[in-house]
Structure formats: structure tokens, C-alpha cells
Structure 1
Amino acid sequence: MGAQNINLLPPLVESGQFEQLVQSGQTISATTSPYDNSLAVFLSPTTVSGSNSNSDREEPVYFASYDVVPSSERRLFIADTQVIFSMFHGMLESAKSREPSWIQTPEALELMRKFSVDYVNFIKECWIHASQPMPRTDGPLQFSADHYRSLYSCFSLFVVLYLPEPGYEDAPVGEDLMEWLNIHFIEPSTEEGDHLSSLDRPWEDEEFWPYLKRVTLRGLTKASLFFFNTLLQHPSEDLQDLVRTIIPVVESQPRLQNFSAERDFAFASRKWKDKVKAIRIEMDRVPEESRFDDFENWWDSLSDIVGILEGRNPVIQRVCEELGADWKEVCSAWGIFVDSRLRRQDLVDVAAEVLEIMPADPTNLEDMIHSALFSGKPEQALRYASQLDAWLSAHFADVMEPLGLLETDENSESELSKRDEYVLSYAEYLHSDPTQWKITIAYMYSCGDIGRERGDEILVRVPLRLHPSEAPSTPEEAIAQAVKEVSEVCFNYQREAVRRTVCRIAAQTCVRQKDYGLAVSYCISAEDWVSLGRVIDSILDEYVHNGAAEFAKQASKIAPSVQELQSRTVSEAIFVHRLIFAVRYSQIHKYKLEQDFVSAASDIVTLLREEIAPKSWWPVLLCDSVELLQYGSTLLFASSDAAELLSKLEEISIRASQGSGDDYLSVLTRTIKGGGEKEALERLKVVRLALARYFARCTIGSDRHALST
């Protein structure tokens, strides 16, 4: 992960031919995806204005990524460990309200240890799961069981060395190290023990003494006592006598966990060492000729075991080399046999001495991480961890910083702390999978201003359409669900500006899908009044392009937003005014469709008299009134209402004659295919005629009323 080079197959340019490509007027270009961290790589001309004879030829476009998109089992690992990460940071956030020194108190250290142990336990579960020989419908594992085993051993070692239980920071570390070694690097194998225990005379097997040395070195008392007891049947009486002395000594080796005070443990250890010295004296009394059986020199092998118990470092180191063990086993045995009171701070010197003679394997990243942790070099451990798995280096660094193991000063070039560099690197890896955007920004937002800026960029690019298998039944529901999720995240991280930006983007998407109700709602939520004006224009355009029925259908979706805006104090009243007009005008056409002509006539006059309708829509309203002016024998307009219609008609005519016709006639002109201002004025003549006839009907009606009275 996090590679610095991407190899394309087949290559765009063969090795060593890049200069020829440039000379031909082309170069290799790449552009990053706004959706994830992938790249589009392609050939392009070296100059924009330069002509290229091959410009019309189709060229391949490569879609590449620095990181492999996490597979299903990896996504599960990422998601579950992010829960621990969030809880850990919740604890750190609460620490800000306390004294600065609180983070170094036993209470804080205990919490950090708890969360770190949670990481260890979950990695262990993943390792066990990945080790199961089960059929997989989603293909092979992206990361092998051995990879998770490496993460398990590294993180658990980190906890052992840097996060001991509170109060045990200065306690001897040998037993903890040996326990860690026995858990993660099991030697000797169970199969070897089963084989030897099945033999009547196991000492005749060539693996017997190596096995007994190993279980003694590893502190596996139960196994060592079992095979020491088998030696009571050995033909050599000298060996039998020595074994009778050794068995109670091995059985009674002091363990720190069995003592309430270290002082008592130290005293018991000194007395125990005296007993081991007595065994050495007894061994030296065995004649040279009696030190052999029919197979080998048993005395030399037993001497190695006693040398281990004595804590002779040269013997321990030689035995480890002969058994194929490495420096880790020497260091762990050192804390058990050489110096049973070995402290964590002193382990650094021991590790340096051992590693000088038995260096770590430079080809094994896991081993290099272990050696760096043993050596008290956390930053070096981070470098190796980042090569093994960006997850490991990010979570290492995240815990190391509050422990005071890392420099907190920002790098002058990157303006990032050491911790933030590794966490952001992991977040960039997560960005290879756009579906993990919530997890990605959780890590980014923990990385100061730069991390927050990067997180903002991801949030505003969250796709508003979900994957088909996850999407609701309609595109509108998909958008609403995505915006809701983004808004919740913005609220949690206090990113109000980002939320408004996402709402603006969602509004634009909704307009393209003609979901004007959601579009208006998002504009209001973003308090983007200019965009609200554009949405209203789009709704009104439905009338121009698709007719009154479609317009009424679409405009009805925004009616609830009018009530919401009227209940708020909005500075941009002009946009609210236009929104109200669109809703009220759509209602007129709804009345017409329902044949409620009285209400339709009343609303037309209201929109004009109260100047709710923009001037560019006056001619359209007047044209709409023609049908109502000519409706049967019923007079739908009062004479004062008809006069209002005539007043608006006169204003339009006068302004048009004065050169301001575009201010009034632009919308009506658009409804006339191929027409202009002249054709619009011609259509208004129909309105004038309808009004003249209406006034005549009103006069006749009033005359008849006078005669009847």
C-alpha cells in the first residue's frame, strides 16, 4: 500500500523511450479522480496549441490506483477497528476539559491500555477467522492469516512494552516478554512433544535434548518436568541423581505473579539461584567417563540446561543459535534467567547487546518492528509498520502520541505532526474505497486543520446516488438518504459550511431530476437564496416548455417550503416572494383543472394587485384571464378586478412603446414559438378585446339590474 510508483500493463511507453515520446510532441499525463484516490493516466500533447499528426488516433486511458481497494473481509476489519479508534478519541477529547497532566495519570493510562488491548483482541479474532479453512464466495482473502498474525504480534508487543498495567511500569518485564513469545512464536511444537511422550525411551531420540532445552528456556515448566521425570528411567545412575535434584528446583522457580511484593520475589530468586549453583557443583563431580550413554554426551546437554537456569548469557545465546531461535528468545530468556528484575527501561541496553550479535532479519518487516520496539525506537517502528500495513502505523502513532513517544512538533514542510502523517496516510488508503467515506473522514478529522480540509473535500464529493444494491426505491429517496447521512456527519464534526455546500450540490442534482420540492428544501437548508432563485426559475420554465399541467404538477411539490419560509426571518425576501408566486400561480392552474374558475379568477387578480407576480409574468397572467373573462354567462371578475387587469395591460403597452418591452414580455415571448415582442403584443390584443367585451357585459348586466329595480 502507499506505493510511490504505478506500473501499467501494457506500458504506455516502453522503458527508455520516453525521450522519443516527448520529441514526437506527446507526454504522459494523469488526473486524479474526485470520487476516490485513483488516477486516469493517458498520453497528451506537450503543448496545447501545437498540432499533432496523431491527435485523431484513439489512445488508451489507464485507470490506476496507488492502493488496492479493500475487499469484504478487510472492510470488516477496517470498520470494526474504527469503532475503537472513535472511542479512543472520545476519551482524548474529554481529556481536553481536564488538567493537561491528566493524560499521564494512572486513570488515563489505564484507559489507553484498555483501548489498545481492544485492538489486540480484535486483531486476534481476525487472525483466527482468516485461518479457518472455509469456502469463500467472495474470493480469496486480500490479506493472509499470516498478515493478521504479524499485526497481532506487533500490537501486543507494543502493549507489553509501552502500556503495562498501571502501577507495574517499573515491574520486571521478563515474564511478560516470555508470555508474549510463547503466545506468538510457539516453540517447540505440540507435535514434537506428542512424539517424544509416546516413546518408552525418549532420550534415545535425537530431538529429545533439544526439546528439553527449548521447554526449559521457554519456561514451560509442565513440559520440562514431564520429560525430566522420564530421565529417572535412564540407565545412568549419575543422571538419575542429578535429575532428582533438578526437578524440585525447576518446579520451584519463583514467578513474580506469585508474590505480592517485588522484594519478596527478589529474595526468593536469590535463594533459588543458590540451589542452581548446588546442581552445578553436583554435576562437576560426575566423572568424565560417566557422562556418556550409548547415544551421546548427556552431561553436555544437561550442562546447557543448568547453564540456562544459572542465567549464563553466553550459554543461552549459544543454545538459542543451535536451536534456530533468534534474538527475541535471547532477550526474553534474559529477563527470566539472567536478570529476573529486568526493567522495561533497561531492556533497551539488553536488546542492543543481543542485536549486535544476533541482528534482526532486515527482510522481515515484522521482525524489524519487534526489534525497534525492544530497542525503544518507536519512530523507527512506525517506519517499518507503514511498510507492513498502513493500518498498523496509523494506530501505533495514534496511541504513541498521547503516551509522549513521538515528537508533537509539526514538520516544517508538510505542516503535519508525526502522528498526523501516518494517520492521514492510512486515511488516503481508505479513500481508495468511496463506500468507506464515513470512516475515511473520521481519521482525517482527527488530524488538525489539514486533515479537516481534506475531510471536507471528501464530504462534498460523497456520491448522492447509492450503490444499486443499497439504494432505496427511487432516486429522490437515494439523494435524501445520502444528504441525511452527510448532514449527520457534518453535525457531529461541526462542519456547517460543508453541510451547506452538500445541500447546494444536492439541490442542483434534484433540479436535474425535476425533484423541485427537495431542491427548494436543500436551498433553504443551505440558506443559498441565489440558488433558490435559480430553482424557482427552473420550475417556472416548466410552464414555458411543458405547459400549464406539468408546471402545476411540479410546482405543487414546493408548497410545504413556503410555509417553512414564512415562519422564518429571511433577509433575502425577494426569493421568498418569487417562491410564493410560483406556488400561487400553480394553484391557479390547479383550480382551472378542477373547474373552480371563481378561485382561479380571484387568485389572478390578487397576484397582480398585490404585485406578487413579477412584471415579466403579468402578460402571461393576463392571457390566462381570457378564458375566465369569456366564461359563459357568469361574471367571474368584479368590475374593479377587471379594471385592475386593464391597468396592468395599459402599463405593459405603454412601457413596451417606450422601449422597455423586454422587462414585461420576455416570458410571454418564450411561450410563442418563433415569436418576438411584436407577436407577444398581438396576443395581448386578444386580452384587450376580451376585457372590452367583459366591460360591455358588465354594463349590460348593470342596466338590466337598474330596469328591474
Structure 2
Amino acid sequence: MAVHLDLLPPFISRGGGEDFVKARHNLLLSVSPRDNSIGVFAGTVRSSHYAVNGVAPTQGKVRDILFASADKMPSAERRLFITDTSVIFAAFQNLISVTNEKGSEALFNVENLRLMNKLVNDYVNFAKECWVHASQAVARPDGLQYTADHYRSIYTCTSLFQTLYLPDPDVEHAPVGDELMEWLNTHFIEPSTEEGDVLSRLESAWEGEGFWEYLTRTALRGLTKATVFFLKLLSSSHPSSYLQSLSDSLIPILEDQPHLQQFKTEREFTLAHHRWKNQVKALRVELHHVPEDEETRFDGWDNWWDRLSDIVAVLEGREDVLMRVVQDLGGGWKEVCAAWGVFVDPRLRRQELPEVVERVIDVIPYDPTDLEDIIHAQLLTGEVAKALVSAEKLDVWLSCHLADVMNALGLLQEAEEGEEVVDGTGTTLRQHHVLQYAEYLHSDPALWRITVDYMCACGEIGTYRADEVLLRVPLGFSSYSQPTGSDPGGKKTTVNDDRIADTEDEASRIRAGDIVGVLKEVNQCCFEHGREGVRRMVCRIAGKALMSEKQYGLAISYYTSAEDWPGLGRVIDQVLNEYITQGPAKFTSLVAEIAPSLQTLRSAADSSDYPMHGIFLHRLMFIVKYAEFHQRKISNDLIEAAADLMSMFEGDIAPTSWWGVLLQDSVEFLNHPGGMLFTSANIGLLLRKMEEVQTRTSQGSGEDYLSVLVKIIRSSGGKGIGGEKEALNKLKMVRLALAKYFARCGVIGVGGKDSLNAVTRNSNVYAS
């Protein structure tokens, strides 16, 4: 389907198209993944492939990009209409889902039909409220996006659909005439109250302009009180005694006209209507007794006999007179159809309406330029698929919600089996129209939650579209800020202070560990629609964003929720890199945010809540333990710090690439002038680690053991010729400190003779 978009200002000035082509330029576009806006820019013929990626070739100069949208973003009053009716849509989907679990036939039991009727009635009432709201003469700074007449059209169409296709179950198979007339009188009021007021103030109302038209129309529309009021006036004041008598006879006929809702059974109604028709026939006989001379039948203003005869003919149900009278009154085909079910065929059923409507339309056609009139005709003739196409042109909201209800009622099955299928994508008629509405909602990023709800109600293809929307919802980690100032055009721009405060509060709460705001809604939305894969991807995105802001504790939480263990590993690597570049103080402050996550992860791993790889848990344990080690050093708690250092080796949680760093850290404890901080067993373990580092390095695996130590040396300004060589020189200092410590142990007898022998044996073994 071709879409016409207007660009302002025009991309190519008038008459410039030929020059544009001669310059080997063409128009390229890129669709925004966040909404349905489009960026349009110029490119060369050779670079047209850039449109796929949405990148414009600059060729050394800045090119203009103009933005357009397939749909206009909903305004405030429109957004209110959308959000309110989305609640009804959600309730309808829930009803369908629950009943489908019980079997397809369960949907059509009386209770569920009444529930559907109520929900559709809610659609009708919301359309009415919007119409009333838009009709109010209130000054609105930005005006209305849709006129009151637009919402009135939606109101009439939804109301007619309910009347025809989803009435109360008690009257579903009953005659439809009275209901159709009630719908007509509700939405197309004729004659107006003002006309009656003007005529009632006249001393001789029949002398007033339009008197008989008013009287005929009130009788035709079943407005008995107004008709009787003026008939009593005629019976008491009109100069013709014949008309006085006839008016007296007509009053009880109109007052006693039977209506279906007055009777318990249709049979009783039919019998009463038959007796009533006999009264009308008697009135026709009385009418024929009036002399035919003009003086008798003409009162100086109008031929009252002809006028009264038309009214009686309508009551008799003469279809030719009915059509002529309605046309003379300036009425349309809908008025004839409603009156047909009241006077011509009082037992007219809903399924018989299409034939009657087609007969009427052949004589009094609908307006082919009026979408509202077209939709009414298509609904009344049962052309539901065509009605949806017309409804989409009027308002995509209307086609979406009508298609949803039609599908539940089984009205679209026949159309889908025929030639009314919309496209070849495999979507049903319902899915097509609901997805069209969802794409319209996508024009407003703030309506992403409702957009996803509608998309997820459209099977697999809709769910895939919803996934793409969820993945692109801004999560709100960055505080909203926009300075007050002037734009390039000199127009002053301001920011709503409440919005800034709310967004900043949300961002700060997220950083405090609360899943709030948009992030919470995205998680909840994924849960409701069973989009676990998308939820994990969103958590990965959140983790990556938080890691870039050095919110490592929260980043670990989100990567864990996403079960993205490589992502967790990247966070750990980044935190360890902070130690290399920033030193112990910064490192310990960052790890303080991570420490609470360790206990949670260990508990989850023990309970198998997460199929976590042990290597990442061990690495997380290492950075927490290493941070505790430095924190104790800073606090001068050297005994516990030394114990932490040894526990990292004894528990085998220290990566081999950090062994050199830990051995370098041990020098301070080995050279401590106070008490002995290591046992002889500790010294033996350190010697074994030292020997392994040196041996593996000599065998060509220095990168595995000394890479971190080399980075630390370079970060601190070391300028050795070879990285590993300088790192090995540092380890020589460690070996010397170990030798001195070993000598001190021998002098003062730390650990006893057996312990010293053990140290010696370990040293000899690993030296060999």
C-alpha cells in the first residue's frame, strides 16, 4: 500500500527535480526502530545501499535529514481515549482466553454473550464521552486533534454494530425494528426540539411553516407525545370538523401502537399488532369518507387530507408511500430502513435486514463520499469485511476494535475463506486490523505498553513485533535534563520541573537497587506475555548500560537475572581493571556495591535457581575477597589481611593471572617488622606458587601468570624493556622476602622443628 508523506520544508524545491536527478542523487529513507517515524535524506545513486542501514553518505559535507511520520502522534485527549479503551480491549482478550480453554462453544453461552455485550457497550460509551468532551465550547490552547464530529461517527458506528451483531441475548432472535428505530432516534434526531417549541407557541400551529412535516416525522419516528400534543390541538381548534374527528381517532391509535418490549412473547405482540392494524384500516375508511372537494380538504394553508393520508399510509406499512414521504422530508435510507421494521414488516429479523436494506438503497442510495454512511450501509447489509476497510479509513481505532469483536463472534470466517483476505502475509483479517492500530500507537513511544498489548494479541507475527518494541523502550537510567534557553530560531524552550523531578527520582531509585519505573514495567510486561527471552535481553541491555556508568553492583544483578554469565564475567574484568588503573582505594569502594550480590548468587547456585557456571562464581568470590584484603590493609588489620591473602591461595579462588600480584602483595607482610604473620605452612604454599609461576613462565606461559602484574607495573609508570622480565624482577624481591622470612622462622623457631622441616622439603621439591 502506497503511503504519501508530506515533508516540511520540501526536500526538493519546485522545479528542482530535474537538477536533483542530473546530479545523480536519489531519496533515501531510514525507519526509526523506536517509533514509526522516517528520516529522509539525499544520497548518490551509487550509495543507495546506505538506506538499508540508515546511514547517509556525507561526502565531506553535512546533508539535511528531514523527519516524517506515517501517523500523527496522539494528542492529550486522544491519548486518554486510547488508554481508557485499551482496558476494555484487555478485558475482552481475557474473556476470550478463559472461554477458549473451556471450548469454542463456551463463548456463545448466555453469560459470556452478556459479558461481551457489556464490553462493547463500554466502547460505545467511551466514544460518546469523547464526542461530548470534544463538543464542549472550551478554549483549548492546542485545539483538538480530532473533531467532535469524528468521535460522533465512531459513536454511531459502534452503537449500530452492537445493535445488529451483539444485542442482549434475550432479544437476539426477536424482531429488530424497535431497536433500529431507537438507534436512529438516538443518533440522528429529527425533528428537532426547537421546531416543536416554535410551532407550539403559535396560536394556530397548522399555519406555521413546516407543521405537517413536523407532525409526519414525529409519527414516523414513534415520538408519540409530540404527535399527540399537536393532534389534540387540531381536534380542538382546527376549523375543519372532519380533521377534528380524524385527529380524535388517530390519537388512540398512536398511543396504543404495540411494541415488542411490552409483551412477554412474540406471539402476543403479533396478535396485538394485527388488531392495531385493523384500527388503522378503520381510520383509512373514515378518511375516505371526507368529501373530495378542495374546500373541504384544504384549510387555506395546506391540503390537510393529503398530509394526514400520508401519515395513515405510513402506519399501514405501505412501502412506496414510506419511501416517498421520507424523501419529501429530506430523510435518508436509514430512516426508511428503521421505519420498515416498525410499520412495513414488524417481524423483521436481523438476518433479514440485508435484503431489505439493499431494496431501500436501490431507491435511496447512501452517500458514497461519507465514510460514516458507507460503514452504516455495509454493517446493515452484512458486508463486515468491507465495513472494516471503510472503518480503517475513518479511524484505525474503529477497525481494530470492530475486527476484534467480529472475530470472536465468528463473523470474519466466511470473509477469510473467500476473496476478502487482506494480504499474503498469513495474517487473519482481525490480526491485520489490530496490527494496523498497534503501528499507529507506535507513533507515540510513551504508549509502548499499550502497543505491546495489542501486538501480543495477534499471534506469532504480532508477538515478534512486540519483542522489537520492548527491546527499544528507553529504560530511564540517565536523569532527564535539558537546560532552559533558546533554540536556534530564537524560540525559548523550557522543561517541566515536575517531569525532571520525577525522572531524576526514578533514575536515583534504580541506582539504589529498586526496579522501578519503565524498567519495572518492561519486566512486568515481558512476564505477562511470556516473553522470557526478551526479558533477559532487556536485562542484558540494562546491565551493559549500568556497567558503562560503573554501577557494577546493579550490573551484576541484571546480568544474573538475564543468566548472561559472560556478561557477568565482563563486569568482573572491568572491576579488576579498576584496580589496575585506579588502585586499591577505588577498587574497594566499587566492590562494596558488589559484595551483597555474592551471597545471593551463592545461595541461588546452591539451590539450582541459576545454572551458573562455577568459574564466574569463583571469580566473583575472588574480587570480593581481594577487596576485603585491601580494606583490612588500609585499616591496618594486618593479621586478618594476611589470612585473607592466604585463603585466596588455599581456596584456589585466585586466577593464575593474579598470582604474581598476590605474591607481590605478600612482600609487605613478609617484611613486617612486628610479629610473624604467616605460619610455616603459609610459607610453603607461597613458595609452591612462586615456583609454579617461574617454571611456567620459563616454559612460555608467562602471559597466563604475569599479564596482570605487567599491566600494574606499566600503569604505575614502569619502563622495563620487557614486561615479563620486569615482572620477574619484581618476583625476585618476593623470593628474597620469602628467604628472609624463612631465615627468621629458623632463628626464632616459628612453627617448631617439624614445621621448619616441612617448609624445607616443600622448597626443595618445587625448586627441583
Report TM bin, short chain.
over 0.9
Answer yes or no: is 1:626 the counterpart of 2:667. yes
Instruction: Tell me which moved more, 281-290 or 335-344.
Output: 281-290
Task: Give, as a single letter, the amino acid of the residue that structure 2 aligns with 1:141.
Answer: L
Q: Distance in 2 between matches of 1:559 and 1:430?
A: 43
Question: Could you tell me whether the CA contact under 8 Å between 1:215 and 1:223 is conserved in 2?
Answer: yes
Q: Distance in 1 between matches of 2:545 and 2:397?
A: 35
Displacement of 1:478 in angstroms is: 4.3
* Counterpart selection for 1:152 from 149, 152, 155: 155
Question: Could you tell me whether the CA contact under 8 Å between 1:3 and 1:67 is conserved in 2?
Answer: no
The answer for the alignment partner of 2:202 in structure 1 is 199
Instruction: Tell me which moved more, 92-101 or 244-253.
Output: 92-101
Answer yes or no: is 1:518 the counterpart of 2:554. yes
* Counterpart selection for 1:582 from 601, 623, 639: 623
The answer for the alignment partner of 2:525 in structure 1 is 489
Displacement of 1:653 in angstroms is: 2.4
Which digits, 9 at most, give the CA deviation of each residue in 1:294-316, with x for residues without a partner? Answer: 22222222222222212222222
Question: Could you tell me whether the CA contact under 8 Å between 1:3 and 1:66 is conserved in 2?
Answer: no
**Alignment CA distance shift 1:507-1:127 (3 Å):** same
The answer for the alignment partner of 2:10 in structure 1 is 11
Displacement of 1:66 in angstroms is: 0.5
Answer yes or no: is 1:473 the counterpart of 2:509. no
Which digits, 9 at most, give the CA deviation of each residue in 1:85-120, with x for residues without a partner? Answer: 111111111112223322233333222212111211
Q: Within 5 Å, give how 1:276-295 maps onto structure 2.
A: 276-287=280-291, 288=293, 289-295=295-301
The answer for the alignment partner of 1:71 in structure 2 is 75
Q: Give secondary structure in 1 for the equivalent of 2:29.
A: strand
Question: Could you tell me whether the CA contact under 8 Å between 1:471 and 1:478 is conserved in 2?
Answer: no
Task: Give, as a single letter, the amino acid of the residue that structure 2 aligns with 1:691.
Answer: L
Displacement of 1:155 in angstroms is: 0.5
Q: Within 5 Å, give how 1:171-210 maps onto structure 2.
A: 171-210=174-213
* Counterpart selection for 2:454 from 436, 443, 456: 443
Q: Distance in 2 between matches of 1:32 and 1:90?
A: 33
Question: Could you tell me whether the CA contact under 8 Å between 1:597 and 1:628 is conserved in 2?
Answer: yes
User: Share of identical aligned residues, percent?
Assistant: 50
* Counterpart selection for 1:89 from 87, 90, 93: 93
Question: Could you tell me whether the CA contact under 8 Å between 1:242 and 1:282 is conserved in 2?
Answer: yes
Displacement of 1:345 in angstroms is: 1.1
Instruction: Tell me which moved more, 369-378 or 163-172.
Output: 163-172
Answer yes or no: is 1:102 the counterpart of 2:115. no
Q: Distance in 2 between matches of 1:239 and 1:79?
A: 58
The answer for the alignment partner of 2:305 in structure 1 is 299
* Counterpart selection for 2:356 from 340, 344, 350: 350
The answer for the alignment partner of 1:615 in structure 2 is 656
* Counterpart selection for 2:246 from 236, 242, 263: 242
The answer for the alignment partner of 2:633 in structure 1 is 592
* Counterpart selection for 2:589 from 529, 549, 553: 553
Q: Distance in 1 between matches of 2:748 and 2:41?
A: 81
Instruction: Tell me which moved more, 67-76 or 23-32.
Output: 23-32
The answer for the alignment partner of 1:390 in structure 2 is 396
Q: Give secondary structure in 2 for the equivalent of 1:691.
A: helix
Which digits, 9 at most, give the CA deviation of each residue in 1:370-407, with x for residues without a partner? Answer: 01011111111101110111111011000001211102
Which digits, 9 at most, give the CA deviation of each residue in 1:41-68, with x for residues without a partner? Answer: 1112322499999822322111221011
Alpha carbon RMSD of aligned pairs, Å? Answer: 2.4
Q: Give secondary structure in 1 for the equivalent of 2:228.
A: helix
The answer for the alignment partner of 2:741 in structure 1 is 694
Question: Could you tell me whether the CA contact under 8 Å between 2:100 and 2:106 is conserved in 1?
Answer: no
Displacement of 1:660 in angstroms is: 1.7
The answer for the alignment partner of 2:408 in structure 1 is 402
Task: Give, as a single letter, the amino acid of the residue that structure 1 aligns with 2:689.
Answer: K
Task: Give, as a single letter, the amino acid of the residue that structure 2 aligns with 1:151.
Answer: I
Q: Distance in 2 between matches of 1:220 and 1:387?
A: 35
Question: Could you tell me whether the CA contact under 8 Å between 1:154 and 1:370 is conserved in 2?
Answer: yes
Q: Give secondary structure in 1 for the equivalent of 2:408.
A: coil
Question: Could you tell me whether the CA contact under 8 Å between 2:563 and 2:612 is conserved in 1?
Answer: no
The answer for the alignment partner of 1:324 in structure 2 is 330
The answer for the alignment partner of 1:648 in structure 2 is 689
Q: Distance in 2 between matches of 1:374 and 1:313?
A: 18
**Alignment CA distance shift 1:376-1:704 (3 Å):** closer
Task: Give, as a single letter, the amino acid of the residue that structure 2 aligns with 1:40.
Answer: G
Task: Give, as a single letter, the amino acid of the residue that structure 2 aligns with 1:403.
Answer: L
**Alignment CA distance shift 1:612-1:382 (3 Å):** same
Task: Give, as a single letter, the amino acid of the residue that structure 2 aligns with 1:424.
Answer: L
The answer for the alignment partner of 1:532 in structure 2 is 568
Q: Distance in 2 between matches of 1:585 and 1:557?
A: 14
Displacement of 1:162 in angstroms is: 0.6
Q: Within 5 Å, give how 1:230-269 maps onto structure 2.
A: 230-232=233-235, 233-269=237-273
Instruction: Tell me which moved more, 564-573 or 203-212.
Output: 564-573
Question: Could you tell me whether the CA contact under 8 Å between 1:228 and 1:243 is conserved in 2?
Answer: yes
Q: Give secondary structure in 1 for the equivalent of 2:169.
A: coil
Which digits, 9 at most, give the CA deviation of each residue in 1:400-452, with x for residues without a partner? Answer: 01211102568772110111000011111111111211111111111111111
**Alignment CA distance shift 1:386-1:478 (3 Å):** farther
Q: Distance in 2 between matches of 1:703 and 1:295?
A: 135
**Alignment CA distance shift 1:426-1:16 (3 Å):** farther
Q: Distance in 2 between matches of 1:662 and 1:516?
A: 27
The answer for the alignment partner of 2:496 in structure 1 is none
Q: Give secondary structure in 2 for the equivalent of 1:206.
A: coil
**Alignment CA distance shift 1:50-1:123 (3 Å):** closer
Q: Give secondary structure in 1 for the equivalent of 2:424.
A: coil
Displacement of 1:175 in angstroms is: 0.5
Answer yes or no: is 1:40 the counterpart of 2:81. no
- Structure 1 unaligned regions, length at least 5: none
Q: Report the TM-score when normalising by structure 2.
A: 0.87
Displacement of 1:666 in angstroms is: 1.4
Task: Give, as a single letter, the amino acid of the residue that structure 2 aligns with 1:381.
Answer: A
Displacement of 1:347 in angstroms is: 1.0
Instruction: Tell me which moved more, 609-618 or 402-411.
Output: 402-411
Question: Could you tell me whether the CA contact under 8 Å between 2:422 and 2:432 is conserved in 1?
Answer: no
* Counterpart selection for 1:364 from 370, 378, 383: 370
Answer yes or no: is 1:680 the counterpart of 2:727. yes
Q: Distance in 2 between matches of 1:222 and 1:416?
A: 52
**Alignment CA distance shift 1:89-1:604 (3 Å):** same
Displacement of 1:153 in angstroms is: 0.7
Question: Could you tell me whether the CA contact under 8 Å between 2:392 and 2:398 is conserved in 1?
Answer: yes
Question: Could you tell me whether the CA contact under 8 Å between 1:365 and 1:385 is conserved in 2?
Answer: yes
Answer yes or no: is 1:57 the counterpart of 2:61. yes
Q: Give secondary structure in 1 for the equivalent of 2:27.
A: strand
Question: Could you tell me whether the CA contact under 8 Å between 2:280 and 2:315 is conserved in 1?
Answer: yes
- Structure 2 unaligned regions, length at least 5: 51-55, 481-498, 754-768
Question: Could you tell me whether the CA contact under 8 Å between 2:679 and 2:751 is conserved in 1?
Answer: no
Q: Distance in 2 between matches of 1:476 and 1:508?
A: 17
* Counterpart selection for 2:347 from 341, 352, 357: 341
Displacement of 1:656 in angstroms is: 2.3
Displacement of 1:651 in angstroms is: 2.2
Q: Give secondary structure in 2 for the equivalent of 1:367.
A: helix
Task: Give, as a single letter, the amino acid of the residue that structure 2 aligns with 1:702.
Answer: G
Q: Give secondary structure in 1 for the equivalent of 2:40.
A: strand
Task: Give, as a single letter, the amino acid of the residue that structure 2 aligns with 1:549.
Answer: A
Q: Distance in 2 between matches of 1:3 and 1:127?
A: 31
